[in-house]
Structure 1
């Protein structure tokens, strides 16, 4: 049996209980050593074989999985964050399907959630943004043309941008070309939830400058949109005393519901 496990955003106690238990039971652990916190390996049992996939090809990873299956061993394939985002798990699962090897998938806390926690941020503020676009810049590997940064920027939704720290000047250009202004609130979050986490609020126009001043060259997420400043928004209707829900009746007239400004 193979278990694809999300390691969480960085802090070792942010792995799920299920993921932790699978690590404790594993006979073989293949982990993404470039991004997964190595402290998670402290959960492994004595005699567990550990492989760092940062130094391996897909074929080499699969070879170790096949070997474990032949020896009737349980494998944990440990990916950073939640492996549904940039985890390259589908290509592994397809081969396991071809071989008739059983597997499952244990979700994890994505770094885009960790980045929000670093800033005490809500991505979906009423009347500000109700959508989150998760994307990345095209670099050594392309993105589909229809998903180019500028086309997404035209929506003015909240954007969380992965794998683009080395291209921040170009990122700012594409965001502005798409419709954001240079003074749109933004943030750079380095290694969210790790012990050396850093988070900086800036603007679309100062993304590159902010990273440069703080020596951030990789392992960061960029957040773009007015939710970063959270300076004004409407209260949630769910907790509005003038709003009836399935569980309670409205208790005041809607005229008493006023716009709320964050302090």
Structure 2
């Protein structure tokens, strides 16, 4: 069996209990390079075979797993965050299926949610935004025309933008062109949940200047939303005049 495990955003305590258990049991571990906190590898049992996939091709990853399967060994493919988001796992799963290799998936905490925790921010505030868009700017990986930032910006919802910090000036340009006002709040969070976590806040008009000299690199998440520091309507869930199946409204 191959276990595809989400390692979480960085803090080794944010891996799931199941993911931690599989990591302790694994005979072979293939982890996603510097994006995985090396402290997690300390959970591996003595003698476990450990591979850094940063220098491996898809065929090489599959070959290691196929070899482990032939030996009856347990393999963990350790991805960052939640593997379903920009994890490139579909091509691996398809390769496993073609070779008759059984696998399962253990979800993890995505960096966009670790970012919300770092910002101490709810993304879905009443009267402000009830939608969260997870996306990226177009780079070497193309983006469908309808999903480009300029198109998505018309929704004015909370947007979590992955893999785009190196193109921040272009990101800002596209968001403003799509409809966000220049004074829309934006936050950049680098390595959310890691000890070296770094937060920079600003607006679309200021953020490119705000991060100068801050050594913000490719591991940063971009969050754009009026939720950031906004006044908002209180949730009806806890309002005294609101009835639901567990509580009668008070007068």
Do these two structures clear the TM 0.5 threshold for a shared fold by scoring above it? Answer: yes
User: Does 2:221 correspond to 1:234?
Assistant: no
Q: Distance in 2 between matches of 1:208 and 1:136?
A: 17
Structure 2 match to 1:259: none
In 1, Cα distance between equivalents of 2:46 and 2:60: 24
- Give yes or no for contact 1:211–1:217 (8 Å, CA) kept in 2: no
Cα displacement (A) at 1:213: 3.1
Q: Deviations over 1:145-194 (max 9, x none)?
A: 11110110110000000000100111100000000011101100000000
Report the counterpart of residue 63 of structure 2 in structure 1: 63
CA–CA distance in structure 1, aligned partners of residues 211 and 189 of structure 2? 9
* 1:251 paired to 2:250: yes
Structure 2 unaligned regions, length at least 5? none
Match of 2:14 in 1: 14
Q: 1:51 — aligned with what?
A: 51
Q: Deviations over 1:112-160 (max 9, x none)?
A: 0000011101000001000000000001221111111011011000000
TM-score (norm 1): 0.94
Q: Deviations over 1:36-83 (max 9, x none)?
A: 111100000011000000111111100100000011100000000000
The residue number in structure 1 matching 2:133 is: 133
Answer whether contact 2:182 2:205 (CA < 8 A) is retained. yes
1:216-231 paired onto structure 2 within 5 Å: 216-229=216-229, 231=230
CA-atom RMSD in angstroms: 0.8
The structural deviation recorded for 1:217 is 2.6
Question: Quick one: distance in 1 between partners of 2:246 and 2:181?
Answer: 42
Distance 1:166 1:251 in 2: 53
Secondary structure of the residue that 1:188 maps to in structure 2?
strand
Find the counterpart in structure 1 of residue 107 from structure 2. 107
- Which residue in 2 is equivalent to 1:2? 2
Cα separation, 2, equivalents of 1:217 and 1:28: 31
SS at match of 1:92: helix
Return the TM-score normalized by structure 2: 0.98
Q: Which moved more, 1:208-217 or 1:86-95?
A: 208-217
Deviates more, 1:239-248 or 1:211-220: 211-220
For these two proteins, the number of residue pairs brought into alignment is 251
Question: Is the counterpart of residue 162 in structure 1 residue 162 in structure 2?
Answer: yes
How far apart are the structure 2 equivalents of 1:213 and 1:125?
32
Instruction: String of CA shifts for 1:207-241, please: whole Å, max 9, x gaps.
Output: 22222231213210000010112x31111111111
Mapped partners of 2:206, 2:4: distance in 1: 38
**Partner Cα separation in structure 1 for residue 202 and residue 83 of structure 2:** 29
